[in-house]
Amino acid sequence: MDFVRPVEAIVPGVQGRVLSVLAETTADLNMRTIARLADVSLAQASRVLARLVELGVVERRDVPPSSLFRLVRQHVAAGPLLALARGRDALIDEMGRLAAGLPVVPISAIVFGSFARGEADIGSDIDTVLVRPAGVDESDESWWEAIEQWRTSVRRTSGNQVEVLEVGSDEVTALLNSRRQVWRDIRRDGLIVHGLSLVELEASRRRGSR
């Protein structure tokens, strides 16, 4: 999925660009503003908006000397458009739900990289850290089966490749304080989708070492 331009990914062309602009705001916008935000010409915006108004998906309100437009959110077609526009948030929620339902539940599921920064497009991987619970051995088959189950489910939900970095709960503090670029990125961009935050993980490790 293209999480930067989700509506345009499914509704290509000028119409997708215009719908994307309207789906991302509740404000009334004039045609010139819509054209500018959608990066289309006034003529293109005019043609698309006229068709969308005819379909009832967009409401037009004349305020001389211009007209204002907005998405009719009660329209049967608006729900899918709004869901697309919020696809990244929906996937974050789903990743957390999937992690919580695994047969071996990770202490934390942390997304980092382009998806965490809100920059993931159709070619982006979803980079994730899954933290293995204390008492679960690194070679535990049920743990690796849980990782693969989660990876497959997120892949099917998003359409993007999913890369998982597996670590033990006793490794986290040292890794987060290392100079390896990947862990610097995780500390800077890491987005918790399930379980303990990075701060909580470090605190938990310190308590366990006393």
User: For the chain, how far is it from start to end, CA to CA, in angstroms?
Assistant: 45
Q: Give me the domains of the chain, ranges plus CATH numbers.
A: 6-83 (1.10.10.10), 87-208 (3.30.460.10)
Q: Is the pTM of this model over 0.85?
A: no
Reading the block at residue 61, the tokens are: 């309100």
Whether the per-residue pLDDT at 184 is higher than 60: the answer is: yes
Element (H, E) at 98: helix 87-100
Q: What pLDDT is stored for residue 208 in this prediction?
A: 55
Sign of CA dihedral 180, 176, 1, 142: positive
The whole-angstrom separation of Cα 40 and Cα 92 is: 31
Residues 84 and 10: beta-carbon distance below 8 Å: yes
Reading the block at residue 93, the tokens are: 């929620």
Better-scored residue on pLDDT, 168 or 49: 49
Amino acid found at 107: I
How does pLDDT run across 124-177, given as a tens digit for each residue?
A: 999 999 999 988 998 999 999 999 999 999 999 999 999 999 998 888 778 877
φ/ψ (deg, to 5) at 84: -60, -45
Reading the block at residue 88, the tokens are: 């990244």
Q: What average pLDDT does this structure show over 4-22?
A: 94
Report which of 52, 43, 42 is spatially closest to residue 11, judged by C-alpha positions.
52
The whole-angstrom separation of Cα 210 and Cα 205 is: 9
Element (H, E) at 57: none
